[in-house]
Chain A
Amino acid sequence: MASAASSEEQKVSPSKKRKMKDDDAASKASGVMAYLQTSLSKESLSQLYLDPTRGRYVCRAVLQELPMTSQQVVVRLICCGGSFPRNLVNIWCGKKYWGHKQIMEMVKWAILKQPADDDAAIQLTDEFFQGYKAALHSMDTSPWSPLTPAQVEVMEQEASAVEGKPVKFPAMTQEDLERYTQSQWDAVLHYLVGTPNLDVQPNPAISHFLLETKLMQPDPEYRGDPEEAPLVITRKGYDFMLQDSTQQVWHFVLQYLQSIERQGNEKAVVFKREALLVLLCLSYAKFGECYASAVLSKDGRRIVRDLALFGLLYVKKVGKKSVFYPTRIAMQLVGGAEASSSSKSGKRGGGGGMWSWSSKALDSALAHPYPSDSSHLAIIVQTNFQLCAYTTSELHVSMLGLFCEVQTIRRLPNVVFMAITRDSIKGAFALGIQAHQILRFLEKHVHPKLRDNTTSPIPSNVVDQVYLWDRERHRVEWNEVFMHQCVLDGEFHAVQSYTMEHQAHAWSNAGRNQLFIKFPYAEQVQSFVRKWRAKAAAG
């Protein structure tokens, strides 16, 4: 097929590009594990492994991060007492799968001791050895056990006794939790985009965070006391808005960890370790189950309260005791890399970030868009560049307005129609939003009716066109140059070869003896010219 043949190739280029970008995103991958690997010292890691009750879960989680061969090696080493000769370990695996690279990776994780030389025995660190041994010995699957109905009843009774009136336990379904996360998180984003008349006001700590992370900045045009200047969204903020929600949340959590770090004292170090442990343990918790805060340490309880600010956890007091529900988004924080690839899996299962709701929740939200849960979003992009979004939320309208033509908007009770135009997309580019971000955003929020399609839910002509518009931006490149007019042919050749050698050459016109020199090199070349002329005059 002619056009298929020709178009196939055409298709490759954008998708290749997309893949590249995805990898790019993965390299910036977010998540607790990535944080452990890149930002923690080996000593801090070892400390985590050593934690008496939760170290084993850390070890398990870390082991899962390794490639299969390395996992094998670790388990065998544990059975062998923690150390084994290098050449024999090599025989276990074969050269292809096991070598210096894998060893260094495990050293970095503080799993192996740094080998003295190439022939030294492979040796597990004591901390990991102990930690993982504990993991093998224990039968628990979860660090915390959820409350049983009987326990709940007891709590209710106790609370009623204290309060002097019957107290109902705050039962939350999975959908309730998702809605809760959504509303909390939306409050943050609403604040970021400046929706007037918010129902849910975010905690002041959050606006502090927004400023801290440079997602917002004091209005530079504000005349008056700089302390009083209103906050405006930054370019980074626009970029942030269209990100994967998991990434967005991680962004905040990271900021949280860093702010603890900045205190710098001994107490902060302990506190941060506790925070990491809580985050790791959360990944072993069950979604939709309730846990008593009593399972946590004092620091742990503070951390849980802080995380609840972002809607990561749902905390509730029952009488004097408090309970908490982990949310889906909190549990996904550990596997950040996984979340960044969820644009692929999201299409199938609707998993991934919190906006891609479980299809059941989304379906019911579409059926009852009012009044409580107004934050669902289901998008249909049509071949005529019309975008149709099932939403009632101002936030989503504002977000779509980033790359859709605002003037074409038609709002109906539960749906919004907008057009994607060249101008609107270019406007988004000017704000620093990437083509692939726009498309990923659209793909992620696609209407459930389109999900079961095997093909891409966004029409291919729209995808191609967006990439073509993106490409248009790079057609003209602006370079600062310095034009040098040579008098003599000899001078031209000499200067040309000189500039070529020093990578200072931008363009030259032999007919007119004109040379265009990259601007940073202008002076250097000028001095060469002076020298050459002096030499020519002398010679």
Chain B
Amino acid sequence: MSESAEGNDEYSHARKLVLRAAKREAALSKADAPVPDGMGSSIGADFSNMTLKPDHIQRPCWACPDGNIYLEAFHDLYTQAYDFLVAISEPVARPEFIHQYKLTPYSLYAAVATNIETESIIGVLERLSKNALPPQVKKFVRDCTSKYGKAKLVLKHNKFYVESEFPEVLRELLRDPTIAQARIQEDVENVDDHGFLTNTKQEEMKENLQMLREPDDDSDDEMEQNDKSKKPTVVVSFQVDGSKVENVKRQAIELDYPLMEEYDFRNDNINPNVPLMDLKPITRIRRYQERSLAKMFGNGRARSGIIVLPCGAGKTLTGVTAAQTIKKSCVCLATNAVSVLQWKHQFQKWTNIPDDRICVFTSDQKDKIHPEACVLVTTYTMISYSGKRSEQSQKIMDQITGKEWGLLLMDEVHVVPAKMFRRVIGSVKAHCRLGLTATLVREDDLISDLNFLIGPKLYEANWMDLTAQGYLANVQCVEVWCPMTGPFMKEYLMATNARLKQLLYVMNPSKLRAVEYLVRFHEERGDKIIVFSDLVYSLKLYAEMLKKPLIYGETPERERQAILGTFRASDMIRTICISKVGDTSIDLPEANVIIQVSSHFGSRRQEAQRLGRILRPKSYTRQDGTNKSTFNAFFYTLVSSDTQEMFYSAKRQQYLIDQGYTFKIVTNLCEKAAEAAVEEGYSYSTPEDDRKLLRTVLQSETDLEKEQRAEDAAIRKNNADGAALADAGTKRSTGATISQMSGGSGMRYREVNSSKKHPLFRKRQRR
């Protein structure tokens, strides 16, 4: 298949770049990080001999030679420093007071891609840093940015141009025979001595470069602006043959000048615009959405890249706005049929797009694609399906592959398995790719590939800032410790089968009681509750106990929509039980309580995604900055104490903890629940109930296996995200390290060998 071959090709290029980047990063972290004596191999480092500037107190951050940057979040210059650091580095942890960032090749690529120059990165970093900028950092920044981002591939007037500010870069590229061959000589006026076309540079938006400016030179701002308009930067370019573009791109990667693609959509008059696709006047874009889009369209052209916004912060609106800015045909990929409908709905809600210009392509619904420009909403699975298709869908598929698209919009881009991703990229020819995600973490290393397959990360919002501003609900995260009842603990300790162990700690009767207690409590308060369980068998039991509707992989689409509809619209249903199909993309703005009964081992992403279900601000969320003082949503994780669950839950929370969330541990809820159970007659209140439950659990092992497999199959069929999760389950045996799989580098429960000797134990001579 030629299309997938092309996808593979691009994929292998991305890998090549990833490897190169990894090499650079390794060189940096090795760059003399002196290990404190007597501590052997450790993650620690001693940089205490760096010189501190005399006026360090006026500067907000420290830059370490290994690329780590620490930022005082309570500093006066925080906002400026934050904007800058997010643009050039990767946030590692952003709690309330001291943030940690890390310079990586990718983050620097992203910085260059948004027109921040090498020297200004170094200059501003030097200005912000409390210590003299270590030479290693300067070298690293220069290394990473010397070649990347210097040349761009621009699609303008439907011709491809290789464009650069630096003529020598173009000359170097042209020294390569493949590229030289692809060049088309033009006979126009504005050529320089080398035969390059000269143009004035597309100025980057003022706003995007604001952070680079000295804080105190606001006064001569205007003058500077005038200077610029008098002497605009000149860019040079040459045209390449459209049919040889792929060769040029590949060759450029070989030369380590990866071409960044920009799409000059305003000057594209071959591809027609989607008519009437304008934002409705009622649509209001929030500041951070605007910032992220400003990064994308910074110089009047569209850049490919990824935008990271927390769940519930309005990713969809950001995507819709991007699509309507470009106004060309657009493919929008979602993870499942439910979210496809949501995307369509959002397009219609925010823009005036005519009904016949937006079409849906799912297994249930196959709209006809408008011959001219249109918006197509579909799932990853539909596009990447490699088996035999029905005649109708094959026809649509052919149309998709045959068409030239303006924008490829990818929702929840972090969940797509690599293989599927390749096929998608091979099938849809788009001039610009935009990925949207809430959690750019994955337990495998696809994330770095995304940097080259889609583009650099353009923007990442800070969860805590958005919460403080009231754009997100302020969630109280609670970890409830449920002691295992005696008989369950006994079986748990004796069980050899991991599945059975898992079932035992999920079905722990004190957990059942705690769930019922919490559900009753919150229903009385008038909250809307989602109960999450990964284990279908237990989900069914919980639903039965609570007498609430449930949704899992095999639930028919119609029934699913009906349940969700009732939940959204009325108070008839206040609680629903959902399996992992509900982790992403199910939009339930009314829900404000999550009770998580069981989960996928140590997946940090799942935890963040689930939290995202209730992050959407509620009608009573205050936007005047006081939001942080009160909690208006609750995220309960029930954990059976003294089981593996404790370990997994610590791993899972790491991502959110790094975003500044705290998990409150509650140990006495189960006692209260047990009391209430007896008083109010819960389904499981007596020891006899517990024993009965244990007997059923022990007998149902085979059922359980079967159901779980059916669930995985069902999910894989129509939900890319689920497939990723299901894949992760099987990957475990072959996959890399356990720590990667279980959620990484958490500090709290880090295992260390205890052979270290504390300096205090050193001996001293008596005087």
Contact = CB atoms under 8 A, between A and B. Distances in A.
Interface of A: 1-4, 6-7, 9-10, 13, 191, 193-194, 196, 204, 207, 218-219, 228-233, 238, 366-367, 369-370, 380, 382-386, 388, 392, 398, 401-402, 405-415, 417, 419, 421-423, 447, 449-450, 459-461, 464-465, 468
Contact of A407 (B39, B518, B521, B669): B39
Contacts of B672: 6
Contacts of A232: 761, 763-764
A383 B668 contact: no
Contact of B636 (A3, A13, A409): A3
A461 B665 contact: yes
B665 A468 contact: yes
A517 to B, nearest CB: 24
Contacts of A412: 47-48, 50, 62, 64, 70, 131
A316 to B, nearest CB: 26
A194 B631 contact: no
A539 to B, nearest CB: 41
Contacts of B669: 6
Interface stretch (B364-372, B500-508, B745-753): B745-753
Contacts of A382: 95-98
Nearest 9 interchain pairs by C-beta: A407-B42, A409-B44, A411-B48, A382-B95, A413-B52, A461-B662, A194-B764, A383-B662, A230-B763
Given A367-B57, A460-B664, 8 more contacts: A10-B666, A10-B668, A231-B765, A386-B98, A408-B747, A410-B64, A413-B47, A423-B751
B363 interface: no
Contact of A421 (B49, B57, B131, B749): B749
Contacts of A7: 478, 664, 666
B287 interface: no
A413 B57 contact: no
B406 to A, nearest CB: 42
B282 interface: no
A233 B762 CA distance: 9
Contacts of A414: 52, 56, 130
Nearest to B62: A412
A405 B752 contact: yes
Interface string B663-700: 11111110010000000000000000000000000000
Contact of B752 (A196, A407, A461): A407
B766 A207 contact: yes
User: Which of A370, A417, A419 has its CB near the most chain B CB atoms (within 10 A)?
Assistant: A417
B205 interface: no
B476 interface: yes
A341 to B, nearest CB: 27
A13 B631 CA distance: 22
B36 interface: yes
Nearest to A462: B662
A366 B62 contact: no
A407 B97 contact: no
B658 interface: yes
User: Which of A194, A384, A461 has its CB near the most chain B CB atoms (within 10 A)?
Assistant: A384
25 contacts: A3-B478, A10-B666, A10-B667, A204-B767, A218-B766, A228-B766, A380-B97, A380-B98, A383-B657, A384-B93, A384-B658, A384-B660, A385-B747, A406-B44, A407-B44, A408-B750, A409-B42, A410-B46, A410-B64, A411-B36, A411-B44, A417-B70, A423-B750, A449-B97, A461-B664
Given A3-B636, A409-B44, A383 B661 contact: yes
Given A384-B658, A388-B98, A2 B766 contact: no
A419 B747 contact: yes
A29 B664 CA distance: 34
B95 A383 contact: yes
Interface string B95-135: 11110000000000000000000000000000000110000
Contacts of A461: 662-665
A2 B45 CA distance: 44
Contacts of B2: none
Given A233-B760, A384-B95, A370 B766 contact: no
Nearest to B56: A414
B44 A408 contact: yes
B57 A388 contact: no
Interface in B20-44: 36, 39, 42-44
A241 to B, nearest CB: 9
B557 to A, nearest CB: 33
Nearest to B766: A231
Nearest to A196: B762
B591 to A, nearest CB: 15
Contact of B762 (A194, A207, A447): A194
A193 B761 CA distance: 8
Contacts of B194: none
A447 to B, nearest CB: 8
Contacts of B131: 412-413
A380 B71 CA distance: 13
A450 B97 CA distance: 9
A370 B50 CA distance: 13
B74 interface: yes
B752 to A, nearest CB: 6
A173 to B, nearest CB: 21
